[in-house]
Structure formats: structure tokens, C-alpha cells
């Protein structure tokens, strides 16, 4: 399969290089209609017309050849003409063979046998490649016509794949290769305990995830994605600041309607995060057309995958395995790891894996409460473990309700008791939560500046947290406490916040352009996809070119920020050369970046210039 796809890539690249040159130099438009693709149905019709036109060209050549065969040999000036006639017959047979394979590919495509159709087109191309134009110059145009037809058919087949937005019709292919096998060996070997524990936790959340996937028309296999994302841990936090079951970073979570404030982070809510993940995955699948590429984009972002696709010389052959070597290492492992998970799940006995203590879903009821109280106080009043309430309400960052009406999840059998006691449960003040920290082990050549940049904090904050004083030199292997940048360090909601930014809401019209999707539009107008869908009463995420949307975007009015210019350090750079290049003093450069004259800079480090 992989060899066939690689062959097709080479074929298409060579075909377009040759066809573009030959078709500029000839007027043989009578053979092939060169209009662009207009959908899979029109593609079928245009392909049939192309085939008929080439057949017409072939018939004309055949007729001339028949006349040549009837010519008496004695009338020929050169006895070698008979030998040339036999050679011409060989060339014509190859043309005929290629056209028959093209017609067969057309039939297989119509029957949905895409891989067989591509294989036939590959054979057709191999057939015409046996015709050397220097030996058979009179077949040059026919060869170019067939070559262009093969190219066009391949484009139409891949275009028909991309026109499908989403749905179970295109389930995730269970591919097995060396990369997938390596991940199977890892998950059933060194990571075996992690895998089994994640399987046990999955039983609590997968029933809801599967039900929502079915409603959205997405493959059920996606319900296993949280296993490699978070191990089905609600509070899993990555070094990239991705949080929760589905590992959303704050900006992406916001775009898909996951709110985050002093008390609440909806990325940790399994139900809300599941709905956001489904919307995100639907958009990615609509954008890329196959699930493996969509999953890769879920891991590293659609911008990174699109950028990789744009670097390809043939960018319509863009499934995951075409991109594999060019994606970040973590993403390159991500898809094989997910496929490995599916293989193991389908063969638990083969890998001697059993689930002994699966976690069951906790039946709950949602109750409205207006008091600001702690979950521990509620647990004491209704006689349940506080950990149960935290598992039902994981979005509460500090196990405390916000100072506004809140929909609290309570165990179903305790709901009535809670409602009867809700008003009597003592309220609490809202103290400023203590700063939380992340532990970081210093690596070789790391500096305070590079570590601070990685965790979106400042060198001073790290120095204060670790009592470093004026010592800036770090030793490899040392552990540092890094302030959690995701914590909102400000006054509680109950107090007035000075200087709070004024919010405005603007409503405007937008016409969908070619290449748009809901995520891109939401990002452009600083709003969420959920808001756009609600404003325009959209039932799905599919958009059409020319569609008019009403966009209600919220923007913050704040004083203009001072622009910051950064410079990425290159090999051979020094503070002096960088300062000269940007016409500032060395002292100014060092001060801007909290460096001393003894500090070292490294290639790839970003420095503030002004």
C-alpha cells in the first residue's frame, strides 16, 4: 500500500511537470477538456469525456496505421519499414493497454474501490512509460494525452476523498507498520501498568463520550483518544499547559467554548471538554479529509500541519504517513500510539491484559446553589466523601464554589437531602488561592531565561520561588519550582478589581470565503465557534462559500501595549554583534533580557531588542 502511494506521488509529480510543458506547446485541446475539478460527480463525467476524446485520437491513429499495413511492401523505399511497423504496433498496444486500465480504474472508483483504482492508474502509467518518444515520435502526443488523463483521474479520486466532511463512513484505518508495532511494544511492556490503570479509569467516562460521538456521527474509536492524551485523568497537566481529559491549551479551549476564571476551568470537566473536543475534531476532519492527519493536527495544531503540507511539492497527497517524517517527534509518535491503543484494545487476551477494578460512572443530579461554599462543607452535611464531589465537579479549581449561582453535581441518592440543607450550609469567604508550582529539572545548557520562556513566566519569579538571590548560574539536574502561569493571581471576585478592562460587544456580518472554517473565523473575530453556531442557529460545523454569518465578537479595550521586537540568536552571534546590528548599546540589550556581562547566549534563544 505504501509503495503504491509513493509510486503515485512520483507519477503525479512527473506527470504535471511533463504535461504542463507539452500542453503549452500544442493545440490538442480537442483531446482533453482541461477545466478544473468541480466535485466528484462532475469529475466522473469529465473523466468519461476525456477517455472518449483520447479514444477518438487513438482511433484516428489506428486508421492511419491500418492504411499503412495495407501498403504493399514492394512500394516501400526501405525494407526496414516492415520492422518499424511492428514497433509502431508495440507502441499502439501500450496506449491501448493504458486506456483500458484507465477505464477499469474509472469503474472501480465508481464502485468505491479507491485503492484498486489507484493501483490500475499506476499500471497504466507504467505502460505508457515503456513508449520512448525518441523511438516513436509519432506517438508523442498520444502518450502526453494519456499521461494527462492519468494525472487528472488521480486528482479526481483524491478530491472526492476531501469532499466528505465527516461521519462514520470513513472510520479510522487500523494500519499496522513498524512505528505502530514499536508503540504496541511500549504500551504492553514498560508502560503496561499505565495502560491498565488508564483502561480502568476509562470505564467511568467512555459511555458519555461514545454517546456524544454517535450523535456527532464520528467514529467510536475516538473515545480512546484520552487514553494517550491524559490516561483518562481529569487533572492531567502537560508542560505545554494543556489540561484535562482532552488536553486543551487555554486558547484552543476558549475558542471552543471552555471558560476559565479564578474559580473554574472547564477544561477539567469531562462532559464540557468532550463536546469541545468533538467540535474541534469535526473541524479538523473537514479540513484535512482523513482521520490520521486530523489527529496529528489535534496534537500539534492545524497551523503546523498545514505549514508542513505547503512545503510539499505535491500538496494534494497529504495523508499522515506522507507527512510523518516532517512533523514534530511527539506528533509523529502520537498517531502510531493511538493506532497501537486500538490494536491492543481489540486484542486484550493476546496481550494478556485484564481489567480488575474498572471505575463505574457516578449517577448524579444537577442542583442549583447560590451560596459560595466549600465542597468539603457540603460533603459533611450530606454524608459523602469530599473526593466524590470533586470527581463530579472537577472544573472547580480550588474545591470551592464561585460567588454566583452555580449548577452543582450531587450524587443522585443525596440530591434531595442536599436541596433541603443547601441554604443552611455555611458560606465561606474567598481567600486568594496560594500559588501552585510545577517542578522542573534543569537540563544541559538551560538558563533562567530559557526556562522562564518555556513556562511563560519571568526569571525573577523563578528566582523568588527558589530563593536564588543573585545567583543566576544553574547546574544540570537541579530541580526548580516554577510558578504556575495558569493561575489567576488577582483579588477574589467578591472584591472590586481596580483597573478592570471594559468589555464591548460588536455585531457584524461576514461572508464565508473559500478555505474558511468555523475555528478560523472565530479566531479572526476573537470569539468562539459555539457563539457563532448559536448566533446563526447552525446545527453543524460545515460552511458553504458565500454563506452570510452574524458575528458577535467581544473585544477588550485596553491601553495600547508597547511593541516588543525580538531576535533569534544564530550561530556566531554575540551580545556585541547583536547590539551593533540593531543599533542599541550592549548594556541596554543585557538589561532588556535580564542578562549580565558574564551570561552566555545560545543559538535559538529569543532576545528582546526594544
The rounded Cα 366 to chain-centroid distance in angstroms is 34
**Higher confidence at residue 248 or residue 607?**
248
Q: Residue 591: give its domain's CATH number.
A: 3.10.350.10
Domain end call among 116, 140, 162:
162
Looking at 40-49, 146-155, 200-209, which range is the least confident one?
40-49
CB 284 within 8 A of CB 298: yes
Confidence check: pLDDT of 43 > 60: no
**Mean pLDDT confidence for 434-450:** 78
Q: Over range 314-331, report the average pLDDT.
A: 66
**Between these two residues, 494 and 100, which has the higher pLDDT value?**
100
* 155 shares a domain with 72: yes
Domain shared by 140 and 193, yes or no:
no
For residue 356, tell me if it sits in a domain.
no
**pLDDT at residue 564 in the model:** 62
525/265 Cα distance (integer angstroms): 23
> What is the pLDDT, as a whole number, of residue 202?
95
Active site residue 229: yes
Residues 468 and 549 in one domain: no
Q: Are residues 291 and 379 in the same domain?
A: no
Q: Is residue 71 part of a domain?
A: yes
Same structural domain, 152 and 223: no
Average pLDDT over residues 428-450: 72
Are 63 and 81 in the same domain? yes
Regarding whether 550 and 568 lie in a shared domain, the answer is no
pLDDT at 31 over 80: no
State in Å, rounded, how far the first CA of the chain is from the last one.
54
Average pLDDT of span 479-503: 49
* Residue 563 pLDDT class (50, 70, 90 cuts): low
Report residue 380 CA to chain centroid gap.
45
State the average pLDDT over residues 260-278.
93
Rounded to an integer, the average pLDDT of 449-463 is 82
Domain boundary among 557, 577, 601: 557
Instruction: Identify whether residues 158 and 77 lie together within a single domain.
Output: yes
Q: Which residues pair with 608 in a beta bridge?
A: 566
* Closest-CA residue to 397 (of 538, 260, 580): 260
- Specify the pLDDT at position 86: 58
Longest dimension (CA), the chain: 118
Q: In the structure, what pLDDT confidence band is assigned to residue 461 with cuts at 50, 70 and 90?
A: confident
Mean pLDDT of 212-240: 92
If one compares 417 and 143, the residue with the highest pLDDT of the two is 417
Listed ranges 123-132, 261-270, 524-533; the one with the highest mean pLDDT: 261-270
User: Is 338 within a domain?
Assistant: yes
The answer to whether residues 55 and 103 touch, using CB atoms and an 8 Å cutoff, is no
Rounded to whole angstroms, the Cα distance separating 601 from 596 reads: 11
Residue 434 lies in a domain: no
Same domain, 465 and 418: no
Q: Mean pLDDT, to the nearest integer, of 286-301? A: 85
In a domain, 72, yes or no: yes
Q: Is the pLDDT of residue 432 over 90?
A: no
Check whether residue 311 and residue 416 sit in a common domain: no
DSSP 374: B
List the beta bridge partners of residue 554: 505
Query: Are 136 and 87 in contact, with CB atoms under 8 Å apart?
Result: yes
CB 567 within 8 A of CB 593: no
Q: Please give the pLDDT value at position 45.
A: 44
Q: Please tell me whether residues 214 and 311 are part of one structural domain.
A: yes
Domain limit, last residue, from 487, 515, 535: 487
Which residues partner with 262 through β-bridges? none
Return phi, psi of residue 243, to 5°: -135, 145
Average pLDDT taken over every residue of the chain: 75
Among the ranges given (14-28, 103-117, 469-483), the one the predictor scored with the smallest mean pLDDT: 14-28
Task: Please say if the pLDDT value at position 405 is more than 60.
Answer: yes
Q: Which three cell numbers stand for residue 538?
A: 447552525
* More confident position, 165 or 92: 92
Tell me if 268 sits within 8 A of 235, measured CB to CB.
yes
Q: In whole angstroms, give the CA distance from residue 353 to residue 196.
A: 7
Q: What angle do CA 564, 566, 567 make, to 5 degrees?
A: 160
State the alpha helices, DSSP H only, in 38-113: 40-70, 81-110
Number of helices (H), then strands (E), belonging to the chain: the values are 23, 8
Query: Measured between alpha carbons, how far is 360 from 85 in angstroms, rounded to an integer?
Result: 79
> What is the count of structural domains for the chain?
6
Quick one: angle between helices 81-110 and 40-70, nearest 10? 160
Concatenated DSSP letters for 420-476?
A: HHGGGSPP---PPPPPPEEEEE--TT--HHHHHHHTTS-HHHHHHHHT-TT-----T
* pLDDT value of residue 302: 82
The reply to whether 544 and 568 lie within a common domain is: no
Q: What is the mean pLDDT of residues 36-61?
A: 43
Q: Decide if pLDDT at 80 tops 50.
A: no
Percent of the chain with pLDDT over 90: 24
Among 144, 156, 229, 395, the one annotated catalytic: 229
510 lies in which domain range? 503-557
Of the two residues 330 and 309, the one the predictor is more confident about is 330
pLDDT at 436: 66
Band the pLDDT of 188: cuts 50, 70, 90.
very high
pLDDT at 50 over 60: no
Amino acid at each position: 500500500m505504501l509503495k503504491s502511494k509513493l509510486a503515485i506521488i512520483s507519477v503525479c509529480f512527473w506527470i504535471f511537470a511533463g504535461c504542463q510543458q507539452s500542453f503549452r506547446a500544442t493545440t490538442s485541446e480537442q483531446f482533453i477538456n482541461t477545466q478544473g475539478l468541480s466535485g466528484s460527480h462532475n469529475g466522473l463525467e469529465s473523466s468519461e469525456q476525456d477517455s472518449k476524446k483520447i479514444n477518438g485520437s487513438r482511433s484516428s491513429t489506428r486508421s492511419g496505421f491500418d492504411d499503412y499495413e495495407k501498403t504493399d511492401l514492394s512500394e516501400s523505399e526501405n525494407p526496414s519499414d516492415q520492422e518499424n511497423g511492428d514497433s509502431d504496433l508495440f507502441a499502439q498496444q501500450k496506449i491501448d493497454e493504458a486506456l483500458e486500465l484507465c477505464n477499469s480504474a474509472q469503474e472501480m472508483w465508481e464502485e468505491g474501490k479507491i485503492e484498486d483504482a489507484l493501483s490500475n492508474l499506476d499500471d497504466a502509467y507504467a505502460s505508457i512509460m515503456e513508449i520512448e518518444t525518441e523511438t516513436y515520435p509519432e506517438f508523442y502526443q498520444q502518450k502526453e494525452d494519456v499521461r494527462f488523463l492519468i494525472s487528472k483521474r488521480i486528482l479526481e479520486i483524491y478530491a472526492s476523498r476531501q469532499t466528505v466532511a465527516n461521519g462514520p463512513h470513513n472510520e479510522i484505518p487500523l494500519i499496522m507498520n513498524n512505528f505502530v508495532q514499536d508503540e504496541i511494544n511500549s504500551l504492553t511492556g514498560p508502560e503496561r501498568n499505565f495502560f491498565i490503570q488508564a483502561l480502568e479509569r476509562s470505564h467511568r467516562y467512555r459511555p458519555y463520550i461514545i454517546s456524544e460521538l454517535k450523535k456527532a456521527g464520528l467514529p467510536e474509536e475516538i473515545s480512546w483518544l484520552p487514553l494517550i492524551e491524559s490516561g483518562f485523568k481529569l487533572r492531567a497537566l502537560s508542560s505545554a499547559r494543556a489540561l484535562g481529559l482532552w488536553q486543551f491549551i487555554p486558547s484552543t479551549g476558549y475558542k471552543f467554548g471552555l471558560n476559565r476564571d479564578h474559580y473554574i476551568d472547564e477544561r477539567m470537566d469531562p462532559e464540557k471538554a468532550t463536546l469541545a473536543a468533538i467540535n474541534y475534531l469535526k473541524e479538523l476532519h473537514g479540513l484535512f479529509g482523513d482521520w490520521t492527519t486530523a489527529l496529528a493536527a489535534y496534537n500539534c495544531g492545524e497551523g503546523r500541519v498545514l505549514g508542513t503540507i505547503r512545503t510539499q511539492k505535491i500538496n494534494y497527497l497529504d495523508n499522515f504517513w506522507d507527512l510523518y517524517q516532517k512533523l514534530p517527534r511527539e506528533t509523529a509518535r502520537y498517531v502510531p500510539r493511538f493506532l497501537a491503543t486500538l490494536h491492543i484494545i481489540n486484542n486484550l487476551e493476546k496481550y494478556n491484559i485484564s481489567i480488575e477494578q474498572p471505575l463505574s460512572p457516578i449517577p448524579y443530579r444537577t442542583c442549583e446553589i447560590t451560596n459560595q461554599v466549600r465542597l468539603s462543607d457540603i460533603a459533611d452535611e450530606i454524608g459523602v466523601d469530599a473526593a466524590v464531589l470533586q470527581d463530579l465537579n472537577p472544573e472547580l479549581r480550588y474545591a470551592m464554589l464561585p460567588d454566583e449561582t452555580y449548577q452543582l453535581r450531587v450524587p443522585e441518592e443525596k440530591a434531595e437531602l442536599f436541596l433541603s440543607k443547601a441554604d443552611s450550609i455555611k458560606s465561606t469567604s474567598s481567600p486568594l488561592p496560594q500559588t501552585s508550582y510545577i517542578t522542573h529539572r534543569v537540563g544541559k545548557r538551560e538558563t533562567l531565561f530559557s526556562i522562564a520562556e518555556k513556562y511563560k513566566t519571568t526569571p525573577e519569579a523563578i528566582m523568588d520561588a527558589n530563593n536564588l538571590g543573585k545567583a543566576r548560574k544553574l547546574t544540570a539536574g537541579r530541580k526548580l519550582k516554577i510558578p504556575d502561569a495558569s493561575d489567576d493571581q488577582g483579588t477574589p471576585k467578591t472584591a472590586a478589581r481596580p483597573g478592570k478592562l471594559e468589555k464591548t460587544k460588536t455585531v457584524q456580518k461576514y461572508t464565508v470565503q473559500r478555505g474558511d472554517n468555523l475555528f478560523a473565523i472565530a479566531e479572526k473575530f476573537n470569539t468562539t465557534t459555539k457563539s457563532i453556531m448559536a448566533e446563526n442557529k447552525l446545527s453543524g460545523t460545515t460552511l458553504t462559500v458565500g454563506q452570510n454569518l452574524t458575528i458577535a465578537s467581544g473585544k477588550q479595550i485596553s491601553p495600547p501595549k508597547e511593541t516588543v521586537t525580538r531576535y533569534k540568536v544564530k550561530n556566531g552571534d554575540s551580545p556585541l554583534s547583536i547590539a551593533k546590528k540593531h543599533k542599541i548599546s550592549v548594556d541596554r540589550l543585557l538589561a532588556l533580557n535580564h542578562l549580565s556581562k558574564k551570561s552566555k547566549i545560545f543559538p535559538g534563544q529569543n532576545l528582546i531588542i526594544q
